[in-house]
Amino acid sequence: MLMHASGRPGKIEIVPTKPMSTQRDLSLAYSPGVAFPCLHIARDPSLAYDYTAKGNLVAVISNGTAVLGLGDLGALASKPVMEGKAVLFKRFADVDSIDLEVDTHDVDEFINCVRYLAPSFGGINLEDIKAPECFIIEQRLRELMPIPVFHDDQHGTAIISSAGLINALDLTGRAMADTKVVVNGAGAAGIACLELIKSLGIRHENVILCDTKGVIYQGRAEGMNQWKSAHAIDTPARTLAEALEGADVFFGLSAKGAVTQEMIKTMAPRPIIFAMANPDPEITPEEVKAVCPDAIVATGRSDYPNQINNVLGFPYIFRGALDVRASTINEAMKVAAAKAIAALAREDVPDEVDAAYSGRRLRYGAEYIIPVPFDPRLISAIPPAVAKAAMDSGVARRPIIDMVGYSRDLSARLDPVAAGLQAITETVRANPKRVVFAEGEEEKQIRAAVAFSNAGFGHPILIGREDRIRETMRATGLPAAESLEIVNARLSPKTKDYTDRLYRRLQRKGALYRDAQRLVNQERNIFGALMVESGDADAMVTGLTRNYWQAFDEIKRVIDPAPGELMFGMTVFVAKGRVVFVADTTVLERPTPVQLADIAVQTAHKARQMGHEPRVAMISYSTFGNPSNNRAERVREAVDILDARKVDFVYDGEMSPDVALDPELLSHYPFSRLKEPANVLVMPGLYSATISSKLLQKLGAVPVIGPILVGLSHPIQVTSMDASANDIVTMAVLACHDALKRETVK
């Protein structure tokens, strides 16, 4: 209750997407400028998708007659759920959404209220409207409206439970055609789930449907309607208890506590129990496990494993449908979504997802038959499947030509890091490289290497013992990599050559030949760095097992700084729509003015290499002499040095970070050469740089990449020891990009 009431009451607000600060902004967004799109849309209605928010806007509409499993609470009391659905659209699929509660129980009044809203929206999500009215309402609105109309409790639930069923049958070795199912609840959700599982291969005669009156058998008269009778079968069973005897699967879409432990005991061995009523299931997982420990159990709730909830579907199904401007959401699109969800559960789960679920290692099996809602891969897995099915079934009004590009754009919608690096990842994909993953026996590095390979970035080389690595891959259920090489330093035919190379470097630094031999055999960072140095690999990543400085020292034994360059660390902050490079975050404690100037030049160069035209601010606690203190002099001198060097990028300082990043504050200094906010911040020292960047990172304020090592003569990156497999892939991609840029310069 507190959460819903705190701050601005409720869960949504509306934010403008265009500037609204000046008179000119107003003239463009409102009168007179707004007249132009109006006139254009009047001539060609399809232009509404180009000049208004329609194409990304969905209405969540309810009359509150079946609010979750709480029954008919009325339109107003349904608003918290509908606001919730609207924010889930935004959070999970970047679909803008608004809730509309329609205060009538009358089917025709409801239809007449909604049918005229098509101009406003790209789609209509009907929610929590009870059966059988919901069937008539949806059917009529689908006929009357030229945009997708989708009753989520029917089809969203059907799609997710079908995906869960596909996997639960797989895990228990059952075939659709032989599986006996009992569905409890013959309302919106129950009937739709039943129809979809039948279209996937469950046989009509193998399903018993029940409602508050018990089994829906052929010839029953009480409490019937045409949707129930379509599923009535010839059976002697009359009660839910009788129906469940020997059944393989239970689907609960009814109400809290509808099933007992006694009933579960009579089901077939290893039963599948989806107790999906919200907020409380038909039976709790604890109750099931107490009488049947090997059952596969799912609920609609977030606090148990296996959440079968339509939140896994509706945001992404609409995303795909909107993106091809589908006229409707048809059966082919629903089946495609169910299959995409089922397939995703069988893939390796990213660390970030495990972390969001209290570190529980999620792996395809009885406790993980379906992806979790916070899985960021859902957005690139489901909408493309839905969009493709729409195109193949002829309901897409704007087909997507580049489906691979579409999937990538989808991940970038929610992941600022992916968006910030998109140009780089594309370049790397087009020019795959050989990358050493030096700590090749570490599970995270193995998973990163597999992901790197399967994403098409290049050829990973894991350093380690083949049997150990293969065993880890088997134990963690990793999918096969498209390409993967394993090099054991002790067995490699290159060891002699590498030892000679290393000995030449170290012989006058106190090392004997056998010391070099030991380093090559035992230190994977040294072996890996030698692979890169000798041209046997293009780049390398490491950092999980040694702290940053140890790893860095080992690498420096093999690799020199680039001629004339300074070695330092650069951290990249990626906020939505904004990328900021901060340096030096790792090496120089108190850079001299010349070093500060060097850091500025090299960081500006890196920013440009990564596709961002640099605007450099030399950071201090003071701004252009205020407050005046000779401690800021070092930074001022660095600016003078840059002046003398006539560098090819915009820079200025000294200035404090708020001035550097805020256009309003910057405008108080009209003489500044920086006219727009800086995107490169050169910090005055290591204290300020590391403290500020680690604070931001650990508070989760902004996604961070790095620190990225700058100034080595070969592309090698060191991650932090707590890096996730995803972070490692990002660093590997950056190292590859660096390798490519060096080739271009050569």
Ligand X SMILES: NC(=O)C1=CN([C@@H]2O[C@H](COP(=O)(O)OP(=O)(O)OC[C@H]3O[C@@H](n4cnc5c(N)ncnc54)[C@H](OP(=O)(O)O)[C@@H]3O)[C@@H](O)[C@H]2O)C=CC1
Catalytic residues: 85
Rank residues 341 and 449 by Cβ distance to Mg ion and give the closer one.
341
CA 136 to chain centre: 36
Is the sign of the CA dihedral 166, 171, 176, 181 positive or negative?
Answer: negative
131 binds, among Mg ion, ligand CC(=O)C(=O)O, ligand X, none (CB under 5 to 8 A by kind): ligand X
Nearest CA among 2, 102, 20 for reference residue 60: 102
Rank residues 153 and 738 by Cβ distance to ligand X and give the closer one.
153
Question: According to the annotation, is 72 in a ligand binding site?
Answer: yes
Question: According to the annotation, is 69 in a ligand binding site?
Answer: yes
Rank residues 60 and 436 by Cβ distance to ligand CC(=O)C(=O)O and give the closer one.
60
Query: From the CB of 295, what's the least distance to ligand X, in Å?
Result: 18
Query: From the CB of 53, what's the least distance to ligand X, in Å?
Result: 28
**What is the 3 state secondary structure string of 484-527?**
CEEECCCCCCCHHHHHHHHHHHHHHHCCCHHHHHHHHHHCHHHH
Query: From the CB of 322, what's the least distance to ligand X, in Å?
Result: 21
Query: From the CB of 397, what's the least distance to ligand X, in Å?
Result: 29
What torsion do the CA atoms of 244, 247, 252, 255 make, to the nearest 10 degrees? 10
Rank residues 60 and 182 by Cβ distance to Mg ion and give the closer one.
60
Contact 137, 63 (CB under 8 A): no
Query: From the CB of 222, what's the least distance to ligand X, in Å?
Result: 9
Q: Return residues touching ligand CC(=O)C(=O)O (CB under 6 A).
A: 68, 128, 152-153, 278, 300, 309-310
Question: Read out DSSP for 627-694?
Answer: S--GGGHHHHHHHHHHHHHT-SSEEEEEE-HHHHH-HHHHTT-TT-S--S--SEEE-SSHHHHHHHHH
Question: According to the annotation, is 74 in a ligand binding site?
Answer: yes
Token digits of residue 642: 């840059």
**226 SS3 class:** helix
Q: From residue 239, how far is each of 194, 216, 259, 353 by CA, in Å?
A: 18, 9, 11, 41
List strands edge to edge, sheet with 149-151.
96-101, 57-62, 123-126, 149-151
Rank residues 128 and 195 by Cβ distance to Mg ion and give the closer one.
128
Rank residues 302 and 667 by Cβ distance to ligand X and give the closer one.
302
Query: From the CB of 670, what's the least distance to Mg ion, in Å?
Result: 56
Contact 631, 625 (CB under 8 A): no
Query: From the CB of 152, what's the least distance to Mg ion, in Å?
Result: 6
The Cα 169–Cα 338 span in angstroms is 14
Contact 635, 620 (CB under 8 A): yes
Question: According to the annotation, is 67 in a ligand binding site?
Answer: yes
Q: E-assigned strands of 127-206?
A: 149-151, 181-184
The Cα 574–Cα 581 span in angstroms is 9
Contact 210, 240 (CB under 8 A): yes
Q: From residue 89, how far is each of 58, 94, 98 by CA, in Å?
A: 8, 6, 9
Question: Torsions phi, psi of 583, nearest 5?
Answer: -145, 160
Question: According to the annotation, is 467 in a ligand binding site?
Answer: no
Question: According to the annotation, is 100 in a ligand binding site?
Answer: no
In terms of phi and psi (left: phi > 0; alpha: psi -120 to 50; beta: otherwise), the region of 535 is left
Token digits of residue 612: 């961002």
Cα of first residue to Cα of last residue in the chain, in angstroms, is 63
Is the sign of the CA dihedral 424, 429, 430, 435 positive or negative?
Answer: positive
Contacts of 209-212 with C-beta under 8 Å, sequence gap 24+, read: 209/182, 209/183, 210/182, 210/183, 210/184, 210/185, 210/186, 210/240, 210/243, 210/254, 211/184, 211/185, 211/186, 211/187, 211/254, 212/254
Query: From the CB of 443, what's the least distance to ligand CC(=O)C(=O)O, in Å?
Result: 35
Q: Please identify, among the stretches 57-65, 153-161, 221-229, 655-663, the one whose residues bind Mg ion according to the rule CB under 5 A.
A: 153-161
Q: Return residues touching ligand X (CB under 6 A).
A: 66, 68-69, 130-131, 153, 157, 184-190, 210-213, 223, 253-255, 258, 276-278, 300, 308-310
Query: From the CB of 163, what's the least distance to Mg ion, in Å?
Result: 17
Query: From the CB of 85, what's the least distance to ligand X, in Å?
Result: 11
Question: According to the annotation, is 71 in a ligand binding site?
Answer: yes
Q: Any contact of residue 442 with Mg ion (CB under 5 A)?
A: no
Contact 465, 489 (CB under 8 A): no
Q: Any contact of residue 83 with Mg ion (CB under 5 A)?
A: no
Nearest CA among 402, 399, 535, 544 for reference residue 464: 544
Count of residues binding Mg ion (CB under 5 A)? 2
Contact 376, 353 (CB under 8 A): yes
Strand 123-126, strand 96-101: pairing: unpaired
Cross-strand partners of 583: 570, 682
707 binds, among ligand X, Mg ion, ligand CC(=O)C(=O)O, none (CB under 5 to 8 A by kind): none
Q: Any contact of residue 128 with Mg ion (CB under 5 A)?
A: yes
For the annotated binding site, the residues are 67-74, 127-128, 153, 278
Q: Point out the annotated binding site for NADP(+).
A: 67-74
Binding region for a divalent metal cation? 127-128, 153, 278
Binding site for Mg ion (CB under 5 A): 128, 153
